[in-house]
Chain A
């Protein structure tokens, strides 16, 4: 079995020694203690484990760590810069989204990926893009509001 010995996560090189077919999620959570990415289903159905791989959202629970080696990985722990929240994180706070918050990291990571390719998504586009995520507490309308708020604030910064 090929081994993976190095990962680039949130701009930092981490040394590991794991089978290439181990799930990226298990390596992040158990080997590196980066527990912000959550286990919700283990089969790519709920989105709680979502990270960015080369800037695009990926389900870490069904991504072999071998696929992630050599690519920049961003997890929820890597969004805050110098104590400054990412606009998407801030928008989730400002919209009062969270109940239990267990789905939040995955929702935020997919949103960061979404806004890179669709900087100003409509309500329907957000719902469509996030359809693979489950919020069992049912905060969907607030999540959509937070995504659109984040989009707005990021567009304002750019212009």
Chain B
């Protein structure tokens, strides 16, 4: 078995969202579960919190310290045999509600339809750091499987006791325990009735091997699908409370602008309007969105201009100039790059850039806040309900147990909703208005006041031996990040460094973090080296690669694509790229067409092979891979935030082009189902292959090498 490599930065600490203060962990739950949940069986999942600490990048467990264990989730089988799982993970479109349901159904031997997941409600689920980093499948899935397995075991135990037979002789299936000898059967409901049985599970309970899965490993449609297609599902922006008002926030004309004066008399004269002016925060609450908009327009503010700020046309120069603030980490050195370059027969150095891009989740930030008896409750869309609870507690100087954050399945995030801006704003307005307040950001606000995928400059240089072996590799990333910065290729001499920079724009996590940028540079450069070596780009990669799973993925994609089997038509080109991140191996082949008259680039066809270990839900996984490729086409070809002196110049879909139907190529996904390897997450890594595959295909079609993302915002 080929286990994933442990790189120094294989789990990149999330950089933006975890600057928050100390996190609060639930101790053992104090409430009486059975009073709240009713009778039945409860199983507590215990987790190793040092894993979370490692995800946070704050501390690393010393080997001599005992593993601290806390509850990460719990599972309840009630007296009707219904199963409810309580987890702090959230559903943001990655369909984890569905795959976690499968995991529980598998180990508990029940139908998926009898399993409910209560997710992301900080008053009702145990602490969870957040849903990011493709961590739910590798961490929460096995925990819930163990809990479900323990619950099944407990139910079998109850039957064994009742029938006075050996536990080992009984079987559980379809929500019931059966004694094959006597043909007796008892449903889980029968067994749970009148019980109040609680147990914590040991971490090493055996799980069903992937080869024997019946529910996992099979396609299962989105469990909330019917509520979506009927419009019944309430997203965060759909929440409505009795007596609720609508909020609007007065935004500064530029980043860093501070308020000099405010005349709010006219706005305050409008019936039902509350104006809040607290420091630099100015907002209104009103009985309707129309009145709130009028009140906002009636505010007369003057602003102090901030000092001149960097603009997009001078960005890359700025990033290079301002690198090296002493916080550099993750340096990776192997051998001697100088020696490797000296040994080389050919050398190459290139610079790549990536622009800031916006997540642009279709549901903008939204929150409904309610104060009641000194307690604050907020319904909001976030990937970190407990993080937002912390933000609210800190902002309003409340103990965390006086704040509840509820996260209804939201209109996506892609790493862009780790923060609680709308929650804080709605809560401040609700506090002043003494009514619940809903605040939904406009699209322009979402484009301007959220945060961006970091821009970056990446410099790569390498040396080649006469036979095409890479002898030296130097890679410097300025600002965009350290995720997947190291290389899987076998190179004896390496120097790899991430250089943080004080970003001109507010920046944070984005689907795959910097893995997309680093793969774009690395895999474009590999293509350049292949041409320098006069080798086929696939052969060149394979020559410099021994990692079996990476080789398999590249060859699987190439085979399905027909790499090397045919020549592209005139004006078309083929490109290939591969990579590894967050436990997943990806290879993508793309065919592009460059129109000879309009010089527009169209992605015609894409094949992606993906290996993320044992596949939990093949159809859900295909959907993620397809979606990642389509989303990635935007960052590859045309998405870029334009900004000038603290203002965003294109904060609308009319001026910020995102992929649409006509941009979506024909697509095939090859899943490499490694039943012998634990499942890794899949929401992020599939996005890293598309940009370099497209860039390499454009080179093949035109001979033009594009080293800046986006590559063709206005055609070539």
Contact = CB atoms under 8 A, between A and B. Distances in A.
Bind each other? yes
A60 interface: no
A93 B666 CA distance: 21
A20 to B, nearest CB: 12
Nearest to B221: A96
Q: Is the interface of B mostly helix, strand, loop or mixed?
A: loop
Interface in A115-159: 126-128, 130-131, 133-144
Interface in A70-102: 75-77, 79-80, 85, 89-90, 92-93, 96, 98-102
Interface in B214-243: 219, 221-222, 224-226, 228-235, 237-238, 240
Interface in A42-58: 42-43, 45-46, 48
Interface string B610-648: 000000000110011011111100000000000000000
A73 B605 CA distance: 40
Contacts, number: 177
A96 B229 CA distance: 11
Contacts of A90: 229
B89 to A, nearest CB: 15
Interface in B323-363: 360-363
B662 A41 contact: no
Contacts of B660: 131, 133-134, 140
A113 interface: no
B258 interface: no
A100 B653 CA distance: 19
Interface in B274-315: 288-290
Interface residues of B, number: 60
A7 interface: no
A22 to B, nearest CB: 6
Given A134-B362, A138-B626, A46 B226 contact: no
A39 B237 contact: yes
B362 A139 contact: no
A35 interface: yes
A38 B219 contact: no
Contact of B231 (A30, A36, A99, A130): A36
A138 B653 contact: no
A85 B230 contact: yes
A135 B305 CA distance: 38
Nearest to A21: B290
A144 B664 CA distance: 11
B659 interface: yes
Contacts of B662: 127-128, 131
Contacts of A75: 231
B231 A136 contact: no
A138 B661 contact: no
Given A46-B362, A131-B662, A139-B626, A104 B229 contact: yes
A80 B411 contact: no
Interface residues of A, number: 58
A115 B653 CA distance: 27
Given A33-B240, A41-B443, A140 B653 contact: no
B362 A93 contact: no
A105 interface: yes
Contacts of A18: 290
Contacts of A76: 229-231
Given A41-B653, A99-B93, A100-B92, A85 B362 contact: no
Contacts of A137: 93, 412, 627, 631
B288 A138 contact: no
A127 B627 contact: no
Most B CB atoms within 10 A — which of A22, A43, A128, A143? A43
A40 B363 contact: yes
B652 interface: yes
Given A43-B652, A76-B230, A96-B619, A103 B362 contact: yes
Given A45-B652, A138-B664, A99 B228 contact: no
B658 interface: yes
Given A45-B654, A99-B93, A141-B667, A131 B661 contact: yes
B363 A138 contact: no
A135 B631 CA distance: 9
B234 A35 contact: yes
A102 B229 contact: no
A80 B229 CA distance: 9
Contact of A38 (B94, B240, B362): B362
A76 B229 CA distance: 8
B231 A96 contact: no
A38 B234 CA distance: 10
B442 interface: yes
A108 B289 CA distance: 26
B410 interface: yes
A43 B231 contact: no
Contact of B222 (A22, A101, A128): A101
B362 A140 contact: no
Contact of B623 (A26, A36, A45, A142): A142
A38 B235 contact: yes
B348 to A, nearest CB: 34
B440 interface: yes
Contact of B228 (A42, A45, A104, A135): A104
Contacts of B653: 41, 43, 45-46, 134
Nearest to A61: B443
A14 to B, nearest CB: 16
B631 A136 contact: yes
A90 B240 CA distance: 28
A64 to B, nearest CB: 12
Interface in B242-258: 246
B608 interface: no
Nearest to A104: B228
A40 B237 CA distance: 11
Contacts of B414: 136
A105 B231 contact: yes
Nearest to B293: A26
Nearest to B360: A136
Contacts of A77: 230-232
B95 interface: yes
Most A CB atoms within 10 A — which of B228, B229, B234, B363? B229
A42 B230 contact: no
A142 B622 CA distance: 11
Given A35-B238, A99-B95, A100-B363, A89 B661 contact: no
Given A102-B362, A127-B661, A141-B664, A93 B93 contact: no
21 contacts: A26-B288, A35-B231, A36-B230, A38-B235, A38-B362, A42-B442, A42-B443, A43-B653, A48-B362, A76-B230, A80-B230, A93-B221, A93-B225, A93-B226, A93-B229, A100-B92, A130-B661, A131-B662, A136-B414, A138-B628, A138-B630
Given A22-B290, A39-B440, A41-B443, 13 more contacts: A26-B288, A34-B231, A38-B237, A42-B443, A46-B362, A80-B230, A89-B229, A92-B229, A101-B224, A102-B410, A137-B93, A137-B412, A140-B663
Across the A-B interface, give the 7 residue pairs with the lowest CB-CB distance, nearest first: A36-B231, A138-B630, A100-B93, A102-B411, A76-B231, A35-B238, A138-B627
Interface of A: 18-19, 22, 26, 29-31, 33-43, 45-46, 48, 75-77, 79-80, 85, 89-90, 92-93, 96, 98-105, 108, 126-128, 130-131, 133-144
